[in-house]
A and B are shown apart, each in its own frame.
Chain A
Amino acid sequence: SATTDVKDEL
């Protein structure tokens, strides 16, 4: 399942 890929990188 496509996890809501949160942008955790700068």
Chain B
Amino acid sequence: MNIFRLAGDMTHLMSVLVLLLKIHTIKSCAGKSYPCSLCFILLESSSGISLKTQELYALVFATRYLDIFTDFISVYNTIMKLIFLGSSFSIVWYIRRHKIVRRSYDKDQDTFRHFFLVLPCLLLALIINEKFTFKEVLWTFSLYLEAVAILPQLILLQRTRNIDNLTGQYVFLLGAYRALYILNWIYRYFTEPHYVHWITWISGLVQTLLYADFFYYYFSSLKNNVKLKLPA
């Protein structure tokens, strides 16, 4: 474990916590009297969260952590896997099933057909992988899928008029975690002999590059102290 990977995991954990906080805010809002301005904004405008991206991430974790009960790495590793699995599936459940949270989900805007991402990633994993075994192919599939899983969310943000802070933070943290992982891979390449994982590195690089324009607008909105807005 190195500082870059730990920072990356913590950033990833933060992104999940921000999303759970946002869902909690929406839930708690419904109980209050209506005139509360925050509630009004939350319930009237869409939450800006893409269910499609959340479903893709649940699939990413399900296919990446198949070895959670067979290969024990460390307590930290197992706990983090359980957190990511539990949170991603519960977020999907909240947006799909929870009587209040589902109201803030705008399915008319979140129209990205994520099936078009799943199939090519699966085919690519069958062709390009380190070992042609069930677990290895699914693990490789999870890397390719994670690289593109943010696309429905980024497209939804372009369509969302006013991106609220928690959603912007969520996407930023999600992009930042993989950028930190790239530093981790560079560090491990120079410190551990034979540490070469091209598939992981290229997928992670593509994933981070997909956030490039978001990062640009995110930092610009911070610098100019204006609302985050992505050009359509």
Contact = CB atoms under 8 A, between A and B. Distances in A.
A7 B130 CA distance: 12
B12 A7 contact: no
B24 to A, nearest CB: 24
B155 to A, nearest CB: 26
Interface in A1-10: 3, 5-10
A6 B9 contact: no
B77 interface: yes
Nearest to B12: A10
Contact of B71 (A3, A7, A10): A7
Secondary structure at chain A's binding surface: helix, strand, loop or mixed?
loop
Contacts, number: 21
Query: Could you say which interface size class chain B belongs to?
Result: 10 to 19
B77 A10 contact: yes
A10 B71 CA distance: 13
A1 B139 CA distance: 22
A10 B81 contact: yes
B139 A3 contact: no
Contacts of A7: 67, 71, 73, 139
Contact of A10 (B80, B130, B194, B197): B80
A9 B80 CA distance: 10
A5 B199 CA distance: 14
B194 A8 contact: no
A7 B66 CA distance: 11
A10 to B, nearest CB: 5
B102 interface: no
B194 A6 contact: no
Interface in B169-186: 181, 184
Given A3-B194, A10-B77, 13 more contacts: A5-B130, A5-B197, A6-B71, A6-B73, A7-B71, A8-B77, A9-B5, A9-B181, A9-B184, A9-B200, A10-B12, A10-B80, A10-B84
